[in-house]
A = this chain, B = another copy of it.
Amino acid sequence: MVQYSSLAEAGLQIMAGSLYVVSTPIGNLDDITVRAVNTLKSVGLVAAEDTRRTDHLLKHFGIATPTTSLHEHNESQKLPQLLRKLAEGTDIALVSDAGTPLVADPGQRLVARAAAEGIRVVPIPGPSAVLAALAVSGYPADEFVFAGFAPSKSNDRKRWLAALAREERTVVFFETPHRINKTLADIAELLGERQITVARELTKVHEQVARCAASSASELSMPARGEFTIVLGPILQPSQVLQPIDDQDLAAYFYQLTDLSRSPRRAAAETAAKFGLSTNDVYARLARLKATTPP
Protein backbone atom coordinates (compact mmCIF):
# COMPACT_ATOMS: atom_id res chain seq x y z
CA MET A 1 0.00 0.00 0.00
CA VAL A 2 3.03 2.21 0.16
CA GLN A 3 3.11 3.89 -3.23
CA TYR A 4 5.55 2.46 -5.71
CA SER A 5 5.80 3.62 -9.28
CA SER A 6 6.06 1.56 -12.41
CA LEU A 7 9.82 2.10 -12.27
CA ALA A 8 9.92 0.64 -8.80
CA GLU A 9 7.73 -2.25 -9.94
CA ALA A 10 10.17 -2.89 -12.75
CA GLY A 11 12.95 -3.15 -10.19
CA LEU A 12 14.71 -0.15 -11.68
CA GLN A 13 14.82 1.73 -8.37
CA ILE A 14 17.81 -0.41 -7.38
CA MET A 15 20.01 1.74 -9.56
CA ALA A 16 18.08 4.95 -8.85
CA GLY A 17 19.64 7.92 -7.13
CA SER A 18 18.35 9.61 -3.97
CA LEU A 19 16.77 13.03 -3.63
CA TYR A 20 18.23 14.95 -0.68
CA VAL A 21 16.15 17.87 0.61
CA VAL A 22 18.90 20.06 2.05
CA SER A 23 18.38 22.96 4.46
CA THR A 24 20.80 25.87 4.02
CA PRO A 25 21.57 29.00 6.10
CA ILE A 26 18.99 31.78 6.39
CA GLY A 27 21.64 34.50 6.69
CA ASN A 28 24.71 33.52 8.68
CA LEU A 29 26.78 31.07 6.61
CA ASP A 30 28.02 29.39 9.81
CA ASP A 31 24.49 28.02 10.21
CA ILE A 32 25.38 25.26 7.74
CA THR A 33 25.46 21.69 9.07
CA VAL A 34 28.33 19.28 8.52
CA ARG A 35 25.99 16.90 6.69
CA ALA A 36 24.61 19.63 4.42
CA VAL A 37 28.17 20.42 3.23
CA ASN A 38 28.98 16.74 2.75
CA THR A 39 25.73 16.10 0.86
CA LEU A 40 26.11 19.12 -1.43
CA LYS A 41 29.65 17.87 -2.18
CA SER A 42 28.71 14.26 -2.88
CA VAL A 43 25.60 14.59 -5.06
CA GLY A 44 25.79 14.82 -8.84
CA LEU A 45 23.56 17.86 -9.18
CA VAL A 46 22.02 20.59 -7.02
CA ALA A 47 18.52 21.78 -8.01
CA ALA A 48 18.28 25.37 -6.73
CA GLU A 49 15.62 28.05 -6.63
CA ASP A 50 18.17 30.69 -7.70
CA THR A 51 21.43 29.24 -9.03
CA ARG A 52 23.36 32.49 -8.49
CA ARG A 53 22.62 32.47 -4.76
CA THR A 54 23.33 28.76 -4.48
CA ASP A 55 26.55 29.00 -6.54
CA HIS A 56 27.69 31.67 -4.07
CA LEU A 57 26.94 29.34 -1.14
CA LEU A 58 28.71 26.39 -2.78
CA LYS A 59 31.74 28.52 -3.64
CA HIS A 60 31.98 29.69 -0.02
CA PHE A 61 32.30 26.06 1.08
CA GLY A 62 34.59 25.05 -1.79
CA ILE A 63 31.96 22.82 -3.42
CA ALA A 64 32.16 22.30 -7.18
CA THR A 65 28.88 20.40 -7.74
CA PRO A 66 26.95 21.70 -10.79
CA THR A 67 23.66 23.50 -10.15
CA THR A 68 20.48 23.74 -12.18
CA SER A 69 17.54 26.06 -11.63
CA LEU A 70 14.14 24.79 -10.50
CA HIS A 71 11.47 27.36 -9.84
CA GLU A 72 7.77 27.77 -10.46
CA HIS A 73 8.30 29.16 -13.98
CA ASN A 74 10.40 26.28 -15.34
CA GLU A 75 9.09 23.47 -13.14
CA SER A 76 7.02 21.67 -15.76
CA GLN A 77 9.99 21.55 -18.17
CA LYS A 78 12.56 20.68 -15.53
CA LEU A 79 10.69 17.98 -13.60
CA PRO A 80 10.95 15.26 -16.25
CA GLN A 81 14.70 15.90 -16.69
CA LEU A 82 15.37 15.75 -12.96
CA LEU A 83 13.22 12.64 -12.49
CA ARG A 84 15.07 10.96 -15.37
CA LYS A 85 18.44 11.76 -13.82
CA LEU A 86 17.27 10.34 -10.49
CA ALA A 87 15.94 7.21 -12.22
CA GLU A 88 19.29 6.84 -14.01
CA GLY A 89 21.19 6.89 -10.71
CA THR A 90 22.20 10.51 -10.15
CA ASP A 91 21.85 11.74 -6.56
CA ILE A 92 20.26 15.20 -6.51
CA ALA A 93 20.13 17.78 -3.71
CA LEU A 94 17.16 20.14 -3.64
CA VAL A 95 17.82 23.51 -1.99
CA SER A 96 15.91 26.77 -1.74
CA ASP A 97 17.38 30.26 -1.47
CA ALA A 98 17.46 30.00 2.31
CA GLY A 99 16.31 27.65 5.04
CA THR A 100 14.40 24.41 4.68
CA PRO A 101 13.06 23.79 1.15
CA LEU A 102 9.28 23.48 0.65
CA VAL A 103 8.30 25.85 3.44
CA ALA A 104 6.72 28.48 1.20
CA ASP A 105 9.27 27.55 -1.50
CA PRO A 106 9.15 25.82 -4.87
CA GLY A 107 10.41 22.25 -5.24
CA GLN A 108 7.43 20.57 -3.65
CA ARG A 109 6.33 18.92 -6.90
CA LEU A 110 9.80 17.42 -7.42
CA VAL A 111 9.63 15.77 -4.00
CA ALA A 112 6.04 14.62 -4.56
CA ARG A 113 6.84 13.16 -7.99
CA ALA A 114 10.08 11.52 -6.86
CA ALA A 115 8.30 9.91 -3.90
CA ALA A 116 5.53 8.67 -6.21
CA GLU A 117 8.21 7.16 -8.47
CA GLY A 118 9.67 5.23 -5.53
CA ILE A 119 12.79 7.42 -5.33
CA ARG A 120 14.33 7.58 -1.84
CA VAL A 121 13.81 11.08 -0.40
CA VAL A 122 16.19 12.02 2.44
CA PRO A 123 15.92 15.11 4.66
CA ILE A 124 19.10 17.00 5.59
CA PRO A 125 17.63 19.18 8.34
CA GLY A 126 18.86 22.63 9.25
CA PRO A 127 17.87 26.27 9.66
CA SER A 128 14.37 27.61 9.15
CA ALA A 129 13.22 31.18 9.77
CA VAL A 130 9.88 29.82 11.00
CA LEU A 131 11.40 27.87 13.88
CA ALA A 132 14.14 30.42 14.63
CA ALA A 133 11.52 33.13 15.15
CA LEU A 134 9.33 30.80 17.18
CA ALA A 135 12.26 29.85 19.43
CA VAL A 136 13.13 33.46 20.32
CA SER A 137 9.50 34.53 20.71
CA GLY A 138 9.22 32.60 23.97
CA TYR A 139 5.57 31.85 23.19
CA PRO A 140 4.22 28.35 23.84
CA ALA A 141 4.95 26.19 20.80
CA ASP A 142 3.46 22.86 21.83
CA GLU A 143 1.29 23.59 18.83
CA PHE A 144 1.54 26.36 16.23
CA VAL A 145 0.33 27.48 12.83
CA PHE A 146 2.58 28.64 9.99
CA ALA A 147 0.42 30.91 7.86
CA GLY A 148 2.83 31.61 4.98
CA PHE A 149 3.23 35.08 3.49
CA ALA A 150 0.73 37.80 4.42
CA PRO A 151 -1.41 38.67 1.37
CA SER A 152 -0.11 41.65 -0.63
CA LYS A 153 -3.39 43.50 -1.19
CA SER A 154 -4.60 45.62 1.71
CA ASN A 155 -8.18 44.30 1.82
CA ASP A 156 -7.08 40.68 1.46
CA ARG A 157 -4.53 41.17 4.23
CA LYS A 158 -7.08 42.68 6.60
CA ARG A 159 -9.47 39.79 6.01
CA TRP A 160 -6.60 37.33 6.51
CA LEU A 161 -5.48 38.98 9.78
CA ALA A 162 -9.07 39.07 11.03
CA ALA A 163 -9.21 35.29 10.45
CA LEU A 164 -5.89 34.84 12.31
CA ALA A 165 -7.35 36.78 15.25
CA ARG A 166 -9.65 33.79 15.81
CA GLU A 167 -6.71 31.32 15.78
CA GLU A 168 -5.94 30.48 19.42
CA ARG A 169 -2.54 28.90 18.76
CA THR A 170 0.79 30.67 18.28
CA VAL A 171 0.98 31.85 14.64
CA VAL A 172 4.09 32.47 12.51
CA PHE A 173 4.06 34.27 9.17
CA PHE A 174 6.35 36.10 6.74
CA GLU A 175 6.14 39.68 5.48
CA THR A 176 8.17 41.59 2.90
CA PRO A 177 10.11 44.76 3.84
CA HIS A 178 8.03 47.11 1.70
CA ARG A 179 4.77 46.12 3.38
CA ILE A 180 5.94 45.49 6.97
CA ASN A 181 4.81 48.81 8.43
CA LYS A 182 1.38 48.66 6.78
CA THR A 183 0.96 45.14 8.13
CA LEU A 184 2.04 46.18 11.64
CA ALA A 185 -0.60 48.95 11.50
CA ASP A 186 -3.23 46.41 10.44
CA ILE A 187 -2.13 44.12 13.28
CA ALA A 188 -2.50 46.93 15.81
CA GLU A 189 -6.01 47.50 14.50
CA LEU A 190 -7.17 43.89 14.23
CA LEU A 191 -5.30 41.76 16.77
CA GLY A 192 -5.95 43.62 20.02
CA GLU A 193 -4.09 42.58 23.12
CA ARG A 194 -2.26 39.59 21.72
CA GLN A 195 1.52 39.60 22.10
CA ILE A 196 3.64 39.98 18.98
CA THR A 197 7.31 39.33 18.22
CA VAL A 198 8.76 40.79 15.03
CA ALA A 199 12.08 39.28 13.91
CA ARG A 200 14.09 41.06 11.21
CA GLU A 201 17.20 39.78 9.43
CA LEU A 202 17.40 36.68 11.65
CA THR A 203 20.99 35.36 12.09
CA LYS A 204 22.42 38.33 10.14
CA VAL A 205 24.57 41.18 11.46
CA HIS A 206 21.56 43.45 11.87
CA GLU A 207 19.34 40.82 13.52
CA GLN A 208 16.57 42.55 15.42
CA VAL A 209 13.86 41.04 17.61
CA ALA A 210 11.14 43.40 18.91
CA ARG A 211 8.29 42.42 21.20
CA CYS A 212 5.16 44.26 22.26
CA ALA A 213 1.40 44.02 22.66
CA ALA A 214 -0.19 43.72 19.19
CA SER A 215 -2.11 46.94 19.94
CA SER A 216 1.24 48.81 19.93
CA ALA A 217 2.58 47.10 16.79
CA SER A 218 2.19 50.24 14.66
CA GLU A 219 4.69 52.04 16.92
CA LEU A 220 7.47 49.55 16.12
CA SER A 221 8.21 51.32 12.78
CA MET A 222 10.72 48.74 11.56
CA PRO A 223 13.33 49.66 8.94
CA ALA A 224 11.87 48.57 5.59
CA ARG A 225 14.86 46.31 4.85
CA GLY A 226 15.50 42.59 5.23
CA GLU A 227 13.23 39.64 5.79
CA PHE A 228 10.56 39.75 8.46
CA THR A 229 9.13 36.85 10.43
CA ILE A 230 6.20 37.72 12.66
CA VAL A 231 5.06 35.58 15.59
CA LEU A 232 1.69 36.14 17.24
CA GLY A 233 1.39 34.82 20.78
CA PRO A 234 -1.44 32.38 21.50
CA ILE A 235 -4.74 33.45 22.98
CA LEU A 236 -4.10 32.44 26.57
CA GLN A 237 -6.63 31.17 29.05
CA PRO A 238 -6.76 33.57 32.03
CA SER A 239 -4.86 31.08 34.25
CA GLN A 240 -1.94 30.97 31.78
CA VAL A 241 -1.36 34.70 31.58
CA LEU A 242 1.95 35.77 33.09
CA GLN A 243 0.69 38.44 35.49
CA PRO A 244 2.75 41.63 35.62
CA ILE A 245 4.54 41.81 38.95
CA ASP A 246 3.29 44.44 41.41
CA ASP A 247 6.34 45.82 43.25
CA GLN A 248 4.17 46.51 46.32
CA ASP A 249 3.22 42.83 46.50
CA LEU A 250 6.84 41.86 46.00
CA ALA A 251 7.99 44.20 48.79
CA ALA A 252 5.22 42.97 51.09
CA TYR A 253 6.33 39.38 50.53
CA PHE A 254 10.00 40.27 51.08
CA TYR A 255 9.40 42.19 54.34
CA GLN A 256 7.06 39.45 55.60
CA LEU A 257 10.03 37.07 55.26
CA THR A 258 12.48 39.40 57.01
CA ASP A 259 9.86 39.85 59.74
CA LEU A 260 10.01 36.06 60.08
CA SER A 261 13.74 36.63 60.76
CA ARG A 262 15.00 35.45 57.37
CA SER A 263 18.25 37.17 56.42
CA PRO A 264 17.74 39.78 53.63
CA ARG A 265 19.79 37.53 51.35
CA ARG A 266 17.58 34.52 52.07
CA ALA A 267 14.40 36.63 51.84
CA ALA A 268 15.49 38.00 48.44
CA ALA A 269 16.18 34.47 47.17
CA GLU A 270 12.77 33.23 48.32
CA THR A 271 11.02 36.29 46.89
CA ALA A 272 12.87 35.78 43.60
CA ALA A 273 11.68 32.14 43.47
CA LYS A 274 8.10 33.16 44.30
CA PHE A 275 7.92 35.80 41.53
CA GLY A 276 10.10 34.02 38.98
CA LEU A 277 12.77 36.74 39.05
CA SER A 278 16.51 36.91 39.69
CA THR A 279 17.51 38.05 43.21
CA ASN A 280 19.27 41.01 41.55
CA ASP A 281 15.97 42.03 40.07
CA VAL A 282 14.29 41.70 43.48
CA TYR A 283 16.90 44.09 44.93
CA ALA A 284 16.44 46.47 41.97
CA ARG A 285 12.65 46.49 42.43
CA LEU A 286 12.95 47.04 46.19
CA ALA A 287 15.41 49.89 45.62
CA ARG A 288 13.17 51.49 43.01
CA LEU A 289 10.19 51.28 45.34
CA LYS A 290 12.17 52.86 48.17
CA ALA A 291 13.32 55.67 45.87
CA THR A 292 9.75 56.50 44.83
CA THR A 293 8.08 56.08 48.25
CA PRO A 294 8.07 59.18 50.47
CA PRO A 295 9.92 58.45 53.74
Give A residues with C-beta under 8 Å from B. Answer: 1-3, 5-7, 10, 12, 21, 23, 26, 28, 30-35, 38, 76-77, 79-81, 83-88, 100-104, 108-109, 111-117, 121-149, 169, 202-203, 207, 209-213, 216, 219-220, 242, 269, 272-273, 276-281, 284-285, 288
Question: Given B79, B84, B210, B242, which contacts A112 in the complex, CB threshold below 8 Å?
Answer: B242
Residues from chain B with a CB closer than 8 A to the CB of A77 are 273
Report the copy number of this chain in the oligomer. 2
**Separation in Å of the A246 CB from the closest CB of chain B?**
12
Q: Is the CB of A31 within 8 A of B35?
A: yes
List the B side residues contacting A140 at CB < 8 Å. 108
Do residues A125 and B31 form an inter-chain contact, with CB atoms below 8 A? yes
Q: A87-B281, A103-B135, A125-B203 are in contact. List 18 more A-B contacts (CB 8 A).
A: A1-B213, A6-B288, A12-B280, A12-B284, A23-B135, A28-B35, A80-B273, A100-B132, A100-B135, A103-B144, A109-B276, A112-B139, A113-B276, A117-B278, A126-B126, A128-B131, A145-B146, A145-B169
Chain B contacts for A147, CB-based, 8 A: 143
- Which of chain B's residues have a CB closer than 8 A to the CB of A135? 21, 23, 100-103, 111, 123, 125
Show 25 residue pairs from A and B whose CB-CB distance is below 8 angstroms, ordered by the A residue: A1-B216, A1-B220, A3-B211, A6-B288, A10-B284, A10-B288, A23-B127, A31-B34, A31-B35, A32-B34, A33-B33, A80-B273, A84-B278, A84-B280, A86-B278, A100-B134, A102-B134, A104-B141, A108-B138, A111-B137, A115-B136, A128-B131, A142-B149, A143-B146, A143-B148
Residue picked from A12, A31, A288, most chain B C-beta under 10 Å: A31
* Nearest-Cβ distance from residue A97 to partner chain B, whole angstroms: 15
Residue in contact with A139 in the complex, picked from B7, B108, B145, B149, CB distance below 8 Å: B108
Choose one: B117, B146, B210, B288; the contact of A281 (CB below 8 Å). Answer: B117
Q: Given that A30-B33, A103-B141 are contacting pairs, would A84 and B272 also be in contact in the complex, using a CB cutoff of 8 Å?
A: yes
Contacts A33-B31, A131-B23: A123 and B83 contacting too (C-beta < 8 A)? Answer: no
Cβ contact of A30, chosen from B23, B35, B212, cutoff 8 A:
B35
Give the distance to chain B from A191, nearest Cβ to Cβ, in Å: 15
Given the known interface contacts A3-B212, A6-B281, A80-B276, the answer about A136 and B21 at a Cβ–Cβ threshold of 8 Å is yes
Determine whether the beta carbon of B203 is less than 8 Å from that of A272.
no
With CB as the reference atom, state the residue of chain B lying closest to A215: B1
Q: Are B111 and A136 in contact (CB under 8 A)?
A: yes
- In the bound complex, what is the Cα–Cα distance between A116 and B233 (angstroms)? 14
Interface centre among A26, A132, A203, A216 (most CB of B within 10 A): A132
Provide the bound-state CA to CA distance between A219 and B1, in Å: 7
* 6 A-B pairs closest in CB distance: A84-B278, A111-B138, A112-B138, A125-B127, A123-B132, A83-B278
B residues within 8 A CB of A100?
131-132, 134-135
